[in-house]
Amino acid sequence: MSFQYFLSISVTVKIPDFIVEPKPKGLLIKWIITDYQKQRLRFYKILINDGAWTRTVEGNQNVTEVLVDELEPCHFYVVGVTTVIVHNWIVGTSWKCGSPLPTEIRRPRKLQVYNVDSGKQQVITWMRPTKMSSECRIYYVLYRSSEKEDLVKQTFNSVGPHLIDGLRPHVVYAYRVQAYFGLIPGAVSSTVKERTFPGERPATPYDFKLVPMIRSLKLLWTLPEGQCATVENYFIWLDGSAYLLENKNKTEFVFIDLHPCRFYTIELVAVSAASVKSGKVTASGTPLSESKSQVCISTYVIYHVSKENV
């Protein structure tokens, strides 16, 4: 007896395994055939069960897949498959599970945007797409854009309300939302645009003073505690000229190359991101001279705070 004979009789023909592939409102039963001669189907019986409902599909055709349709999207089903193959009429039964896909994912509805007084936040909400089973676990991608920033995407698991933070005051933002089921995208909602509020008035600087230095003046001021974030820029007026100073969390600035012993009056205003201005503060002072022989008549510093707005 040859080695090849022992090998041939030791090989056992197995019932082909199967997979359950989700389809829109259906489940596709696919047999994994490795030997098309011996694993050909003589008979099959498919049992679909959800615990309260049962459906049977059977046939005696030699097929490799069967679609069971008209099922509930996203509903959980247990699938039992009994298979009889032509080789020695071998019979086998195994169980798996699956959930059909939704037929379509419509656009989210009634997208609404509400402003918050701060001018830096908006609240957004929408409604779930119609004809979408509550068993379908979908998530949402929110698209936000404006003239001053690129497209921003955010992901949410619910319809809201959601607080959108980090916005700029007095800017128009456009929103769209799209539902996803797994990696399957749905239709995109219509676009809703809303301008943020101008926001609160920036904090007014106080204790504004000028410190005399050689041919220069150092500006010092103070902001109320926790109010630095309300200031985007500063406007400084000197000799009829206005200077824009970006707020970098510093409350000081130095004017250089000034005339020694000359009396200067400087005005300072804080400006918010929405161009809302604070009250104006004013201070006066005289730069020092480089020469010890040149004595300025006055080197005193005075400051004054005006409550008037610019």
Which has the minimum average pLDDT: 199-213, 256-270, 295-309? 295-309
pLDDT at residue 136, rounded to an integer: 94
Letter string b/e over residues 93-104, b meaning 16 or more CB atoms within 10 A of that residue's CB:
eeeeebbbbbee
Radius of gyration (C-alpha) of the chain in whole angstroms: 38
- pLDDT value of position 141: 98
One-letter amino acid at 228 equals C
Q: Give the pLDDT of residue 86.
A: 86
pLDDT-derived band at 310 (thresholds 50, 70, 90) equals very low
Average pLDDT over residues 103-126: 92
Q: Nearest-CA neighbor of 85 among 62, 107, 69? A: 62
User: What mean pLDDT comes out for the span 203-214?
Assistant: 92
3-class SS of residue 6: helix
Does a structural domain hold residue 200? no
Q: Would you place residue 300 in the very low, low, confident or very high pLDDT band (cuts 50, 70, 90)?
A: very low
Q: How confident is the model at residue 198 (pLDDT cuts 50, 70, 90)?
A: confident
Mean pLDDT throughout 127-139? 93
Provide the pLDDT confidence category of residue 294 given band limits of 50, 70 and 90: low
Considering the domain architecture, whether residues 80 and 137 belong to the same structural domain is answered as no
Number of domains in the chain: 3
Whichever domain contains 144, its CATH number is 2.60.40.10
C-alpha neighbours within 13 Å on the C-beta side of residue 24? 6
Strand order across the 122-127 sheet: 109-115, 122-127, 162-164
Cα–Cα dist 252/65, whole Å: 77
Q: Is residue 201 part of a domain?
A: no
DSSP 266-308: EEEEEE-TT--B-EEEEEEE-PBPS-SS---S----EEEEEEE
Structural domain ending residue among the three candidates 98, 126, 148: 98
231: containing domain? 206-309
| Mean pLDDT calculated for residue range 82-94 | 90
Task: Tell which of 163, 195, 227 closes a domain.
Answer: 195
124 with 182, same domain?
Answer: yes
Q: How confident is the model at residue 157 (pLDDT cuts 50, 70, 90)?
A: very high
Same domain as 297, residue 258: yes
Q: d(Cα 168, Cα 276) in Å, to the nearest integer?
A: 13
**Do residue 187 and residue 221 come from a single domain?**
no
145 and 67 co-located in one domain: no
**pLDDT tens string 227-266:** 887 888 999 999 888 899 898 888 999 999 898 889 999 9
Are both 17 and 64 inside the same structural domain? yes
| Residue 85 and residue 38 in contact, taking contact as beta carbons nearer than 8 Å | yes
User: Do residues 67 and 28 lie in contact, with contact meaning Cβ atoms separated by under 8 Å?
Assistant: yes
104 located within any domain: no
The span from the CA of 198 to the CA of 169, in Å, is: 5
Whether 90 and 125 share a structural domain: no
User: What whole-number distance in Å separates Cα of residue 182 and Cα of residue 179?
Assistant: 10
Average pLDDT estimate for 7-23 = 76
